[in-house]
Structure 1
Amino acid sequence: MKKEFPVYDICKFSYAQEQDVIIKSLAPYLKAMRKLHFPHRHDFYHIILFTSGAGTHAIDFETFTIAPFHVYFMAPGQVHGWDFEGEVDGYVINFSADFFKSFLYDSQYLEQFPFFSGNVHYSETEISQADHSTAIEIMEKAVLEAEGQGRFKVDLLRVLLLQFFILIAKSDRYSLALDNKGNRNNTVLRNFEKLIEQNYKHQRLPKFYAELLCITPSHLNAICKEFLGASAGDIIRNRIVLEAKRMLINLDFTVTEIAYNLNFEDNSYFCKFFKNQAGVSPETFRRRI
């Protein structure tokens, strides 16, 4: 298998080569990172708040319009790239998956925030005008703290980031998802999505996941349709197609290699599967991208 397109770890972005968090003003950050390959993935959480500029930002093949006070959230593994129009500025936040683990009693605390789910539907939001000044105040404090060497620097950064996440989560954009957090069926759905992430290359039948969740396949299917408007089988297949798309944009991969990586028996079966789900053949998708 040939090398996949770039997956950057947080050390690539760190002058000290050992940081678990990086918070900077966006314009100088972009200038320093001009040699990055696009599109690419990160193995850390990546957040951008724009305060000026225009253009587009693509996350997992969904294209968003860049505008002031729009925020973009990327979970580890997601593919993204951007196309700026003129000069842009704002703030960028990078932090590793382990950054909050020693700080929070609940190791799954961040999972309550929809924008960290890896679901591209929740990857972008606009900060309300009433919260503009609060968001800027938090980010300015975070940038200054990140540049300093104070004794409690790391803990203060954690507190400031949590304030920022909570500010965003309180918006109407995420209210329904948060209201459903305590719902048992929503918990089942979140666990289903985690299991898919771990097993989608080898397990494609809802029955396998239903057994792990201790429910019947029909119950799992009903939950998926209630919350996502799609069957359990569709959700599994969508995850496979997403990974195929992520790999197709790397021209070092042949379609046959992608089929093999995703555990398809042969290339023709993979091409038929992809076309049924995406509406075009893998080769056509690659040419369009």
Structure 2
Amino acid sequence: MKRAIPLYTFYKHKYGSELLIDIVELKNIKKFIAGKQAHTLSYYDITFITEGEGAFSIGNQTHHAVPKDVFFSKPGEIRNWDIHHIDNGFALIFEEEFLSSFFKDSLFVQHLAFFQPGTTSAKLHLPEALYVRFLSLLQNIKKEIDAYQSNDVHVLRALLYEALMLLNRAYQSLPADDKQNETGNPYIGRFIRLVDEYAECEHSVQFYAEQLCITPNYLNELVSTTLNISVKQYIRNKIMERAKNLLVYTRQPISEIAETLHFSTVSYFVRSFRQHTGTTPLLYRMGHQP
């Protein structure tokens, strides 16, 4: 039986009319995650650990989580946390639309240091004073949600904005080596987001250049200068990252993974995977699958 990576979507009408923000306790969502089941989310998530300690993975990064740690995940990132040893915490979750429809900057969320596209955020450990302040802020957000009335979201937006700005300031104070890489170039940011969205079905440099309304040569120049890698190789790296995730976290046959990732033949996929990793898809799965 095939085991796909579960995708959890936002429960927009949990409180009656549509509301795109929520706070959930980790102890209450453990029952929805079987064992150490990897999963993805369709929304933004900021997880605060309050009790217990254990492994917390996002993308290809695994951290040892302890109380006062904070983890950030973007839509589509693969997550996996140790429900047996991380006893409790809070997840502040929201849809980008909740803020982008209000601020003049439609990419406000993506411009936050810990939510920039194409990168995986580092762990943030809160000092005592900020940790206490955040617990109080999360309680206020929860109270406002519980008292929510249709279209009355201004206080909630203000509280979420305060939380994001405080975290952004704390995250930016991390040593440079601990942070994700930042590009600052608008074309690069859009390119990264496009590859995140279309890598499974679009493999050509031409496609991404056309989406950005620039030439393939100019796109290559930008990517090579900023990311120190060619456009073709960046796309291929993203495809192989998807392939690894499907091999590790699903039981899809190799042939089906090749089809999912739009390789023309299974042999071409196997050859490409071996060139990228030094091993075959089957051997990779056998050596990495939990």
1:13/1:49 Cα in 2 relative to 1: closer, same or farther (>3 Å)?
farther
Note the C-alpha offset of 1:142: 1.4
Note closer, same or farther for the CA distance 1:120–1:280 as it changes in structure 2 (3 Å cut). farther
Q: CA deviation at 1:209?
A: 2.7
Structure 2 residue aligned with 1:10 = 10
Give the C-alpha shift of residue 242 in structure 1. 2.0
Counterpart of 1:22, as a letter, is D
Contact 2:49 2:90 in 1 (8 A): yes
- Report the identity percentage: 27
Q: Give the root-mean-square deviation of aligned CA atoms.
A: 3.3
Aligned 8 A contact 1:42 1:76 in 2: yes
Q: CA deviation at 1:197?
A: 2.9
Q: Secondary structure at the match of 1:116?
A: coil
Give 1:87 shift.
4.9
Tell me what 1:237 maps to: 236
TM-score by length of 2: 0.82
Distance 1:205 1:277 in 2: 17
The whole-number CA distance in structure 1 between the counterparts of 2:34 and 2:120 is: 29
> 1:53 touches 1:85 (CA, 8 Å); kept in 2?
no
How far did residue 122 of structure 1 move? 1.7
- Please tell me the residue identity of whatever aligns with 2:11: C
Match of 2:263, SS? coil
Quote the residue 1:57 is aligned against.
56
Q: Which runs of 5+ in 1 are unaligned?
A: none
Matched-pair contact (CA < 8 Å) for 1:50–1:66:
yes
Distance 2:260 2:66 in 1: 38
Deviation of the 1:260 alpha carbon: 0.8
Match of 2:81 in 1: 82
Q: Given the superposition, is the C-alpha separation of residues 194 and 149 from structure 1 closer, same or farther in structure 2, using an over 3 Å criterion?
A: closer
What is the 5 A alignment of 1:1-289? 4-11=4-11, 14=14, 19-27=19-27, 29-31=28-30, 33=32, 38-84=37-83, 86-122=85-121, 124-129=123-128, 131-149=130-148, 154-171=153-170, 172=172, 183=184, 186-287=185-286, 288-289=288-289
Question: Judging changes above 3 Å, is the alpha-carbon distance between structure 1 residues 3 and 104 closer, same or farther for their aligned structure 2 residues?
Answer: farther
Counterpart CA distance in 1 for 2:216 and 2:89 is: 46
Deviation of 1:267 (Å): 0.8
CA distance in 1, matches of 2:78, 2:276: 19
Unaligned runs of 5+ in 2: none
